Amino acid sequence: MAEELQIPQLLERLKGFSIVERVILAHDGTVVTLLAMLFGQPITVRVVQQREEPDAMTPWGHRGPAFLRTVDLMAGQRTVAVANSIIPFHGNHEWVLDLVRKREMGIGAITAHLGIPTIRLPRGVGRRGGCFWREYDMRGQCVAFAIEERFPTPIYRELMCPQEAIPEAV
């Protein structure tokens, strides 16, 4: 999201968010890796709902069959984020769709597993309903996803005031 020349605009757009929120909202890599580093443990993806919609509309204006998917990103037993995705059949290779059908991996893991480099095209950030959120499109060769991620604000406030002391550098 943040190429060097875009940093002033990005900082302006993220004004009013905490430092942890800004890091998450501006991150342009796999969010599972970032969350694992923040929470100090692996993040698992739990598919909560996935259905085939015969006539879905993507944010970029394509209408047609797609998977509509909701996943919880879990740190242990705690949900640390929720992601809603539109995965259109058009624009995604059958290998990608087969892995989505299996419900075993998150989208970032699917693209990494297949060795597909992707870019993220931001559509928006904000706050609502006790969460901060970001929306973006993930694109690459043979892949196109629309993603909305929601992060419960209280969990991330706890990261700003950790209960344990930070170990000294060696």
Pick the CATH number of 4-160 from 3.40.1410.10, 3.40.50.10280, 3.40.30.10, 3.40.640.10: 3.40.1410.10
pLDDT-based confidence at residue 6 (cuts at 50, 70, 90): confident
**pLDDT for the residue numbered 161:** 64
The full set of domain ranges for the chain reads 4-160
- Does position 3 have pLDDT exceeding 60, yes or no? no
Residues 2-19, mean pLDDT to the nearest whole number: 80
**pLDDT for the residue numbered 162:** 58
The model carries a pTM of: 0.88
Which two three-digit tokens encode residue 100? 């989505």
Residues 6+ apart with CB under 8 A from 47: 69, 70, 71, 103
Reported as a single tens digit per residue, the pLDDT across 32-52 is 999 999 999 999 999 999 999
Q: Give the C-alpha separation, 92 to 12, whole Å.
A: 34
Reported as a single tens digit per residue, the pLDDT across 74-85 is 999 999 999 999
Q: Tell me, letter by letter, the H, E, C secondary structure of 130-166.
A: CEEEEEEEEEECCEEEEEEEEEEHHHHHHHHCCCCCC
Reported as a single tens digit per residue, the pLDDT across 101-116 is 999 999 999 999 999 9
